[in-house]
């Protein structure tokens, strides 16, 4: 009996140590801190172990060093990019100017003019354009994906890369060690044998790597010859083409970019490659002189678990609060921090038309349940909620007042906003906003609107189930 008492006392002392020295001395979102504290106190041994594996950011110091190193290395090309910098002007709408100024301060990448951007809303067409771009590469191909499946689609694209490598194109392939955990040696060996440089971002497989298992690269990036860029919500695999009978049709939004913004996307890849491999890439090889390709003003946004300020959370918060007419949000995983819920509700109560198209099904039932726990307060505030029924909604877009848009990889949840490595493109252009608005209306037609009266009539067991999962929202 005394042995058990001493063991329990030691466990709680260790728990208090974790809470004192790790949680309370490190700034983080309060709800996340509370969730970890309750877990550590409630399950002193298991909770402590889970925190050691999932709760500590062990990559921040290295990531900060990488950014300093790349900023130094990129010094010679920054004047070239500066020629295309698009500062706030009196000719631009106040909302655009405000968001541009704020995003530049926290993101450290300016908005650039001279871009041509295509909004892609059908995954089979998107893949065809990606294959076309790969086929047209002559110098370099840089790919970074959260999920790359070793199925028919992933294998076909891999074989295209192998063919280009044999023709002399320099290819670097970066994949997330957890998201693409099914990529084994058999799949990757032919790539390496063809001369493709392959690396895993925060592998997380071996014991020593598991300490970073909770911090993933959720980015999807393809840069071809430094001239053409792709990014957005779409990964590589059969399911993203609607070939998974359980998931059905796949609804996603991607971007194809030409112009100076492509070099910003390239910069994100260069930093991630340096982080994963310690290889510093030659400037002349990967950063061709930027050229004006269109009239769109765009800004690549970078989200990383570095510091106390989240780029995507700050931008989303500011954009929602600045809206005066309309907010259109499409999200696949909707488990938002309370600050963004309050922003959406406040905007709706002030007369802004707030409309959300969310996924009516999910690959993770717990995120769907946790997200639905927010519906009642949003509906009471006047927010319109639609659940997409024509397959799986995976797009991540926000459009404000028909003037400003954001398309990227970040979900509307705590994990994407504070834990993952994410990327997106803020677009200061009315025509792009109009295209996204038209896509939104088409998605609404394939969705079911959630009414407050019907929602309040759902079984009590559903309410309990949703609220239980909401307790874990800060770590989902």
CATH of domain 311-475: 3.30.870.10
- Per annotation, catalytic residue among 322, 394, 413, 443: 394
**Quick one: pLDDT at residue 304?**
85
- Phi, psi at 95, each rounded to 5°: -60, -45
Model confidence band, residue 289 (pLDDT cutoffs 50, 70, 90): confident
> Of the residues 218, 254, 258, 313, which is catalytic?
218
Question: Which bin fits 338, alpha (ψ -120 to 50), beta or left (φ > 0)?
Answer: alpha
- Rounded average pLDDT over 350-378: 90
Q: What is the rounded (10 degree) CA torsion for 41, 46, 50, 56?
A: 50
How far apart are alpha carbons 4 and 70 in whole angstroms?
53
Check if 394 is active-site.
yes
* % the chain with pLDDT above 90: 58
Give whole-number Cα distances, 178 to 128, 149, 189, 215, 226, in Å.
Answer: 26, 12, 19, 10, 28
* Options 176, 225, 252, 272, the catalytic residue: 225
Number of other CB atoms surrounding residue 88 within 10 Å: 15
Greater confidence (203 vs 366) lies with: 366
* Active-site residue, 225 included: yes
Catalytic residue from among 220, 254, 258, 313:
220
Give the tokens for residue 115: 């871009």
More confident residue, 390 or 16: 390
To the query of whether residue 462 is one of the catalytic residues in this protein, the response is no
Distance CA 253, CA 248 (A): 16
* pLDDT (0 to 100) of residue 207: 43
Confidence (pLDDT) at 41: 62
In this structure, CATH architecture of domain 60-87+114-294:
2-Layer Sandwich (3.30)
Whether 60-87+114-294 shares its CATH topology with 311-475 is answered yes
pLDDT of res. 100: 92
User: Where do the domains of the chain lie?
Assistant: 2-55, 60-87+114-294, 311-475
| 401 counts as catalytic | yes
Which is catalytic among the residues 396, 413, 429, 443? 396
Identify the three-state secondary structure at position 280.
coil
pLDDT tens across 202-251, in order?
Answer: 764 444 444 456 678 899 999 999 999 999 999 999 999 988 877 789 99
Q: What is the pLDDT of residue 248?
A: 80
Three-class DSSP category at 330:
strand
Cα 409 from Cα 63, distance rounded (Å):
19
- Of 334, 417, 348, nearest to 377 by C-alpha is 348
CB 379 within 8 A of CB 71: no
pLDDT computed for residue 93 by the predictor: 87
Q: Which residue of the set 121, 176, 322, 401 is catalytic?
A: 401
> In this predicted structure, which of 101-110, 132-141, 343-352, 438-447 has the lowest mean pLDDT?
101-110
Evaluate if residue 68 carries a pLDDT over 60.
Answer: no
Cα dihedral 366, 371, 372, 373, rounded to 10, equals 100
Q: How confident is the model at residue 463 (pLDDT cuts 50, 70, 90)?
A: confident
Q: Is 396 a catalytic residue?
A: yes
Q: Is 218 a catalytic residue?
A: yes
**Neighbour-count burial of 76, counting CB atoms closer than 10 A to its CB (0-12 exposed, 13-18 middle, 19+ buried):** exposed
Report whether pLDDT(445) > 60.
Answer: yes
pLDDT digits 0-9 by tens, 196-211:
999 998 764 444 444 4
For residue 424, the model assigns a pLDDT of 97
């Amino acid at each position: 009996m005394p042995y058990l008492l001493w063991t329990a006392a030691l466990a709680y002392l260790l728990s208090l140590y974790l809470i004192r020295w790790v949680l309370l001395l490190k700034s983080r979102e309060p709800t996340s801190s509370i969730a970890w504290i309750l877990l550590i106190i409630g399950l002193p041994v298991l909770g402590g172990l889970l925190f050691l594996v999932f709760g500590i950011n062990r990559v921040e110091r290295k990531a900060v060093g990488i950014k300093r190193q790349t900023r130094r290395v990129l010094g010679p090309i920054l004047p070239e990019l500066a020629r295309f910098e698009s500062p706030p002007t009196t000719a631009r709408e106040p909302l655009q100017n405000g968001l541009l100024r704020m995003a530049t301060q926290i993101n450290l990448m300016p908005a650039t003019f001279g871009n041509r951007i295509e909004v892609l809303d059908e995954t089979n067409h998107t893949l065809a354009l990606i294959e076309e771009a790969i086929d047209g590469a002559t110098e370099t191909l840089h790919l970074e994906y959260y999920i790359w499946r070793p199925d028919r689609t992933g294998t076909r694209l891999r074989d295209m890369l192998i063919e280009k490598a044999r023709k002399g194109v320099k290819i670097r392939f970066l994949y997330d060690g957890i998201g693409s955990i099914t990529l084994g040696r058999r799949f990757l060996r032919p790539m390496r044998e063809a001369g493709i440089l392959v690396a895993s971002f925060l592998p997380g497989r071996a014991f020593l790597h598991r300490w970073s298992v909770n911090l993933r690269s959720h980015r999807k990036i393809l840069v071809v010859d430094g001239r053409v860029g792709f990014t957005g919500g779409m990964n590589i695999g059969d399911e993203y083409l609607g070939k998974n009978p359980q998931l059905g049709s796949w609804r996603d939004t991607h971007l194809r970019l030409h112009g100076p913004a492509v070099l910003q996307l390239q910069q994100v890849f260069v930093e991630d490659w340096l982080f994963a491999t310690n290889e510093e890439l030659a400037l002349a090889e990967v950063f061709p002189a930027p050229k004006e390709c269109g009239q769109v003003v765009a800004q690549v946004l970078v989200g990383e678990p570095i510091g106390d300020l989240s780029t995507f959370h700050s931008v989303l918060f500011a954009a929602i609060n600045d809206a005066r007419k309309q907010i259109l949000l499409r999200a696949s995983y909707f488990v938002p921090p309370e600050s963004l819920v309050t922003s959406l509700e406040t905007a709706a109560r002030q007369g802004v038309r707030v409309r959300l198209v969310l996924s009516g099904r999910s690959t993770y039932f717990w995120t769907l349940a946790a997200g639905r726990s927010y519906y009642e307060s949003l509906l009471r505030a006047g927010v319109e909620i639609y659940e997409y029924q024509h397959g799986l909604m995976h797009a991540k877009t926000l459009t404000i007042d028909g003037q400003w848009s954001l398309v990227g990889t970040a979900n509307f949840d705590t994990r994407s906003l504070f834990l993952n490595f994410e990327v997106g493109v803020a677009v200061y252009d009315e025509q792009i906003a109009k295209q996204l608005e038209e896509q939104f209306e088409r998605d609404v037609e394939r969705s079911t609107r959630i009414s407050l009266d019907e929602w309040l009539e759902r079984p009590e067991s559903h309410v309990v189930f949703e609220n239980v999962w909401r307790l874990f929202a800060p770590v989902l």
